[in-house]
Amino acid sequence: MNNFSTKKISKVLSLLVVFAFLFSLVGMTADIQAKNKETTNPPMKREIKDPPVYNIDQASERLANMFEVDKSTILNYCVEGYKVRELYIIGIITKASGRSFKEVMALKTPDNNFFTIAKELGVSQEDAISISEELSLEEVVEYLQIDRAVFDNLVAENYRYRDIVLAGIVSKHAKKPISEIVLLKKINNTWFEVAADFNITVNGLLYDAENFDEYMSLFSKHPWTRIGLRAPGEEPVHRGPYDGPRGRIR
């Protein structure tokens, strides 16, 4: 009886050894597959692309004014191969962190990017978005040649961002205050009809609106900055539940 028990135990132990060996093979195979997957599918990198066409001299001047640096400094970085949208991100990091362009650029290595640098310097995504939106609004009022206080007052009076921009475009041609122009837009008329009162053609207004959108999209990808004006009869672009930065401006 004892001999039978010993043989039985030995058989069980042998089976356990076999199972353990098989499980180890499965584990090794899974590790190899995981390593191969990491090799063949490296982590995705966030690539920053510039618009296909833009004026580098004008872009450098805008960046220099935004971030209070010499235009020559921006141009030198462009010559070194940095994209203007990269330099825009660097500028936002400088504003949020209190560092200079030179200090932020010194942190750039082949193994990191400006998003990781922002994180290292304690710049949150919320801070970066807030600064970017404020910079965009400053560019809007500069482009429309109106005071920021006038723009803010129109927002406070519940005028939509899109209507403020189109009123600003018309006011530049009409040489009248934007506060007067915006009153001409009613529920039962269009901006093309308002523009026509000042001898601005449909194509003329479309051209100016497209130039505005192109100007605003050079650095920032905020969809609210572009008004997306369409010709009469064309379907308007759906802009979501609000028309402005993060719902603060309709």
User: For all residues of the chain together, what is the average pLDDT?
Assistant: 78
For the chain, what is the largest distance between any 2 Cα atoms, rounded to a whole number of angstroms? 113
Please report the pLDDT score of residue 48 as a whole number.
52
pTM across the whole model: 0.70
The closest of 178, 179, 181 to 197, measured between CA atoms, is 181
Contacts of 154 (CB under 8 A, 6+ apart): 164, 178, 179, 182
pLDDT digits (tens, 9 = 90+) for 173-192: 999 999 999 999 999 999 99
Whether residue 243 is predicted with pLDDT greater than 90 in this model: the reply is no
* Angstrom distance (rounded) from CA 137 to CA 29: 56
User: E strands, 97-138, where?
Assistant: none
Residue that wins the pLDDT comparison between 34 and 63: 63
